[in-house]
Amino acid sequence: MPGEARHGGAFRVVPGLIVLLLVSAGCGSAKSEGSAAIRKAIVADLGNDTVGTGTKVGKIRISSRDDRYAAAEGWRVDSNGRQVSKSAEYFLKRDGSGWRVLGAGTDPPARCEQAPTSVLEELFGACIRMIGGEAMRRDLGG
């Protein structure tokens, strides 16, 4: 069994391995959808920000490295609720007044200087760097 070693025909717990597994499990490698309250706040703030009304919000990911940052999928809908635009990814940051949109787009919506590299890598895997007035994609991580 994992975390156990054979000793005289029986299993015994290996404490160091359990500690290692517990520490590894908390290492911020997963993205979280956050609580229902966080989702409600993001959906409300997306409707009040540059996105405007008539926006449906899909999957929301909160950074496990810095929970002030999030990514959300969204798309415009008509008065009948039908999708009328391609889905876009929104890059959000929570401040004192709520969640605000830092960027929106499809590849990726974040500029490299807007957040720590570890957050951008976790949420998008890339960022946009402006070089000589031109937007260049920078892939992050392995």
How far is residue 46's CA from residue 41's CA, in Å, rounded to a whole number? 8
Give the structural domain span for 61: 36-139
Predicted local confidence at residue 53, as pLDDT? 55
Instruction: Confirm if 104 and 124 have CB atoms less than 8 A apart.
Output: no
Residue found by looking up tokens 């605000």 in the block: 100
Q: Do 63 and 127 fall into the same domain?
A: yes
How many CA atoms lie within 13 Å of 58's alpha carbon, on the beta-carbon side?
A: 12
Q: Do 61 and 131 fall into the same domain?
A: yes
Candidate from 3-17, 56-70, 90-104 with smallest mean pLDDT: 3-17
Q: Do 67 and 10 fall into the same domain?
A: no
What is the mean pLDDT of the segment spanning 1-24?
Answer: 39
Six-digit token string for 98: 């709520």
Q: Do 47 and 105 fall into the same domain?
A: yes
Residue 91 clears pLDDT 90, i.e. is over it: yes
> Residue 53 — φ and ψ, nearest 5°?
-75, 165
Q: Do 67 and 115 fall into the same domain?
A: yes
Q: How confident is the model at residue 111 (pLDDT cuts 50, 70, 90)?
A: very high
Look at residues 33, 88, 32, 16 and name the one whose alpha carbon lies nearest to residue 55. Answer: 88
Query: CA 44 from chain center: how many Å?
Result: 18
Instruction: Confirm if 4 and 14 have CB atoms less than 8 A apart.
Output: yes
| Domains: count for the chain | 2
